[in-house]
Amino acid sequence: MIKINENYLKLKASYLFADIARRVTAYQHANPEKEIIKLGIGDVTRALPKACIEAFHRAVDEMSSDTTFKGYGPEQGYPFLRKIIARQDYQSRGADIDPDEIFISDGAKCDTGNIQEIFSADTRVAIPDPVYPVYLDTNVMAGRTGDFNDGRYHGIYYLESTRENGFIPELPNQPVELIYLCYPNNPTGATISKEQLTDWVRYAKENKALILYDAAYEAFIRDESIPKTIYEIEGAREVAIEFRSFSKTAGFTGTRCAFTVVPKTCMAYDRKGEKHPLLPLWNRRHATKFNGVSYPVQKAAEAVYSPEGKVQVKELIGDYMKNARLIRKEMTGLGYECVGGDNSPYIWINGKQDSWDFFDMLLNKAGVVCTPGAGFGKCGKGYIRISAFNSYENVQKALKRIRLVL
């Protein structure tokens, strides 16, 4: 008898965005003439930067001739991309990262979801609340939790991000081994200071723990004092893996390119307490289950680092940040407490009511789609997330409608 992985039965019945999509579809059916403005799911809306498109086209042309055609590439990614990432994203900021510590992939979603495979099944995991749901669900699938009760999975240590702690969780008060952190944060938009991140690195070192640092939104950091990478923190090379993505940086959500950094000095332990470097494990996993990002996509990603690419990416992010500032200003003006929107594309708004009620009200009365905070975890109750990923005109229009109904 073929048996299922019963851990899948523990997963909450509906995935947040599927639930939102269902409500939006129902609204659209009931109101076919109404135009909906989507400020919900964190998908970008603007075209790829010109430098990326040009590099993409050139690489596609290379595929059309036998002499320049590329078949399977290195699973870890082409050296041209790994080298430029190491130099520009890390070494230029004083972070000592080598190209061979970088693994190119087709998304930070897969990487943050897959990384848990290289850790023991009985690993004690600390996960933020509210959270980007992938970290939690993949640990549920892997059997690291008990059942879901009262908004929480048994066996997970929840790192609560609340108004009271400024949306930066306190260090765990019981031992944990695998710690997920995400800054700038999705969904709260909060950022972490060097001092706060230093505390986490110190905690990881003292407790032989490992930090999984999701920096998918680093490109939105404006304030130079905020760390763009965990490797700006001394000692992080021993205790942290970092995830990055071109999705939000350069509009690659539909193009797919990201990378994970596993420093050679990053260690974990076997059951006898002996140290093992994680890089060979991840390399093995990656090469076994993944066959590389397509050559044209990696060429398009490389163009992000070209002089023109950098200017274009800056403009793109600048436009989204103009939206973010406007959303935050308007919602604050309407009397709502807001976090984020200054160094991140998300604005986390204390809705002062049930977050699904607030979501339904904005959808049904203003035709605006946001994301209910409760979908990101218990600590998200009462909050909504508005994203800056849309045109300035649409954001203005959405805010005008919101003003009329609130």
Smaller CB separation from ligand PLP, 113 or 235: 113
- Select from 86, 108, 192, 201 the one that contacts ligand PLP (CB under 6 A): 108
Shortest reach from residue 265's CB to ligand PLP, in Å? 24
Smaller CB separation from ligand PLP, 133 or 351: 133
Strand partners of residue 173: none
Cβ atoms of residues 224 and 257 within 8 Å = no
Cβ atoms of residues 125 and 159 within 8 Å = no
Question: Considering the rule CB under 6 A, would residue 132 count as an interface residue with ligand PLP?
Answer: yes
Question: Considering the rule CB under 6 A, would residue 107 count as an interface residue with ligand PLP?
Answer: yes
Span of 62-70, 104-112, 165-173, 266-274 interacting with ligand PLP by CB under 6 A: 104-112
Smaller CB separation from ligand PLP, 168 or 361: 168
Span of 7-15, 105-113, 234-242, 317-325 interacting with ligand PLP by CB under 6 A: 105-113
Torsion of CA 283, 285, 290, 291, to 10 degrees: 40
Span of 55-63, 106-114, 144-152, 266-274 interacting with ligand PLP by CB under 6 A: 106-114
Report the distance separating Cα 250 and Cα 317, nearest Å: 8
Q: Which of 138, 140, 75 is nearest to 112 (CA)?
A: 138
Give the three-state DSSP class for 128.
Answer: strand
Q: Where are the alpha helices (DSSP H) in 31-130?
A: 50-62, 79-85, 108-114
Backbone angles phi, psi at 321, to 5 degrees: -70, -25
Burial class (CB in 10 A: 0-12, 13-18, 19+), 145: buried
- Structure-block tokens of residue 6: 């019963």
Question: Considering the rule CB under 6 A, would residue 245 count as an interface residue with ligand PLP?
Answer: yes
The dihedral built from the CA positions of residue 160, 161, 166 and 172, taken in this order, carries a sign that is: positive
Shortest reach from residue 243's CB to ligand PLP, in Å? 7
What value, to the nearest 5°, has the Cα angle with vertex 355 and ends 188 and 8? Answer: 80
Span of 2-10, 108-116, 163-171, 272-280 interacting with ligand PLP by CB under 6 A: 108-116
Smaller CB separation from ligand PLP, 140 or 366: 140
Span of 102-110, 152-160, 297-305, 322-330 interacting with ligand PLP by CB under 6 A: 102-110
The footprint of ligand PLP on residues 184-213 (CB under 6 A) is 186
Span of 3-11, 51-59, 103-111, 139-147 interacting with ligand PLP by CB under 6 A: 103-111
Smaller CB separation from ligand PLP, 161 or 247: 247
Binding mask 307-346 for ligand PLP (x = CB under 6 A): ----------------------------------------
Question: Considering the rule CB under 6 A, would residue 109 count as an interface residue with ligand PLP?
Answer: yes
Question: Considering the rule CB under 6 A, would residue 253 count as an interface residue with ligand PLP?
Answer: yes
Report the distance separating Cα 372 and Cα 41, nearest Å: 10
- Return the residue nearest ligand PLP (CB atom): 107
DSSP readout, 157-182?
EEEE--TTTTT-PPPPSS--SEEEEE
Smaller CB separation from ligand PLP, 254 or 273: 254
DSSP readout, 298-322?
HHHHHGGGSHHHHHHHHHHHHHHHH
Strand partners of residue 276: 268
Question: Considering the rule CB under 6 A, would residue 42 count as an interface residue with ligand PLP?
Answer: yes
Question: Considering the rule CB under 6 A, would residue 116 count as an interface residue with ligand PLP?
Answer: no
* Separation of first and last alpha carbons in the chain: 57
Q: Which of 147, 137, 101, 146 is nearest to 116 (CA)?
A: 137
Question: Considering the rule CB under 6 A, would residue 144 count as an interface residue with ligand PLP?
Answer: no
- Select from 76, 114, 161, 247 the one that contacts ligand PLP (CB under 6 A): 247
- Select from 137, 177, 214, 330 the one that contacts ligand PLP (CB under 6 A): 214
Size of the site for ligand PLP (CB under 6 A): 14
**Footprint on this chain of ligand PLP (rule: CB under 6 A):** 42, 107-109, 112, 132, 182, 186, 214, 216, 245, 247, 253, 258
